[in-house]
Amino acid sequence: MPVLKHPALVWILVTVQTLCGAYFLWEILASILGLPTLPLRWQMRELVEIGASLGLILGAVLGIQLARVASREMKRAENARRLTSGEFTSAVDEYFQTLDLTAAETEVAWFLLKGQSIAEIGQLRNTREGTVKAQCTAIYRKAGVSGKSQLFSLIVEDVLL
């Protein structure tokens, strides 16, 4: 259960951290300035220290989650910037590289994206339809999909979104 999906938990965490921090800050200032300290029994002080420790640990977890979300959003924003600046082709080529497609498979994948049939791709590349089918099968396997429509969906999801 990610903490970020429950804003109330974030506010509770912030409140606990603030109250514990304020208590410890008052204790330090009181001892430095000679002010009266807050009279807490040792059991209550232990609870405050436990709360502060839990608050620090949960704050660190929240920070990690926020950093991951920010990283994903930055990548998504960079992809959007690239695509809107006319770099669609290079973004898709990079995606094909992440799938570890060969040069021939990349060429076939582009023809698939352009809506060419197996026969048309074979004619354009001067290869047999069986070769093109084998290359398509390799592309689908590397992408983890079972066909052209799933490949399109994957590209839209991973590159465009």
- pLDDT for residue 75: 82
- Which residue ranges of the chain lie beneath pLDDT 70? 1-4, 82-86, 160-161
Where do we find the tokens 């910037």? 81
Listed by start position, the domains of the chain span 3-84, 88-160
CATH of domain 88-160: 1.10.10.10
Looking at residue 138, its pLDDT comes to 94
**Which residue is listed with tokens 């809506």?**
115
pLDDT for 86: 65
State pLDDT tens for residues 78-108.
777 766 666 777 778 888 888 999 999 999 9
According to the model, what pLDDT value does residue 83 have?
Answer: 62
Q: What is the pTM of this model?
A: 0.49
3-class secondary structure per residue, 12-68: HHHHHHHHHHHHHHHHHHHHHHCCCCCCCCHHHHHHHHHHHHHHHHHHHHHHHHHHH
H or E element that contains 79: helix 42-84
Instruction: Specify the pLDDT at position 104.
Output: 92
